[in-house]
Amino acid sequence: MNIGILGTGAVAQTIGSALVENGHAVQLGSRTLSNEKAAAWVQKTGGRGSQGTFADAASFGELLFICLNGAVAVDVVAETDVASYHQKVVIDVTNPLDFSRGMPPSLLPQYSNQFSLGEHLQKTLPHAYVVKALNTVTARLMVNAMLVNDGNHNLFICGNEVDAKNQVKHLLADNFKWKPEQIMDMGDIEAARLTEAIIPFWVGVMQVMGTPLFNYQVVR
């Protein structure tokens, strides 16, 4: 399918490359048509990927990924034509991290505690189906769940539309090797408050583990 990715950083490129390898047509969107990181990525895909503006990518994709810096994500999305997102599944991979006080980060106050970036994105795109997913693991693991513990570890997703969440589950299983039974539906998009708030903790665990290549398995 045609997939648009807003963003050109490591997360956007990693997801984009994995989707291209799975046969999808992928366009990375950025502020300018000539973004150098996107151009290098397009070359790396052997021209199977493409690049465009944020608006181009939003319009291109039947399904969209938002892989933007948490501090600017809502503004970037609001500046594109929100009609481009109409009835599309939008996978929100962002985290509202504030590194200004060093490591581990805190959350951007406007998206912390009783607020979240996922909810703000859903409010900005009222006619899209925003599903918060993949934000709780490192980029390499997002696109290959088998890299950790034979795929036995959990992904926590949330969103208002059950059908959209099911579509995301299938996409993650078919393209990124996530075992469906390991994907835990945390409820509606308000649960983004929960799954974003664990990211500073994730950074702390990463510092202890000495690698970002880990995840949590809920055990009983």
- In the complex, the residues that contact a copy of itself under the rule CB under 8 A are 101, 104, 106-107, 109, 112-114, 148-149, 152-153, 156, 184-187, 191, 193-195, 197-198, 200-201, 203-205, 207-209, 211, 213-220
* Nearest approach, Cβ of residue 156 and a copy of itself (Å): 8
CA dihedral 138, 91, 180, 134 (to 10 degrees): 10
* Nearest approach, Cβ of residue 59 and a copy of itself (Å): 35
Residue appearing with tokens 């990927």? 49
Distance CA 220, CA 65 (A): 33
Residue 119: HSE in the Cβ half-sphere, 13 Å Cα cutoff: 16
**Which one, 23 or 102, has the nearer CB to a copy of itself?**
102
Q: Are 55 and 97 in contact (CB under 8 A)?
A: no
**Which one, 55 or 197, has the nearer CB to a copy of itself?**
197
**Which one, 28 or 191, has the nearer CB to a copy of itself?**
191
Residues making up the chain, counted from first to last: 220
**Which one, 53 or 160, has the nearer CB to a copy of itself?**
160
* Nearest approach, Cβ of residue 41 and a copy of itself (Å): 28
64's enclosing H/E stretch is strand 63-66
* Nearest approach, Cβ of residue 67 and a copy of itself (Å): 22
CA proximity to 206, closest of 135, 142, 138: 138
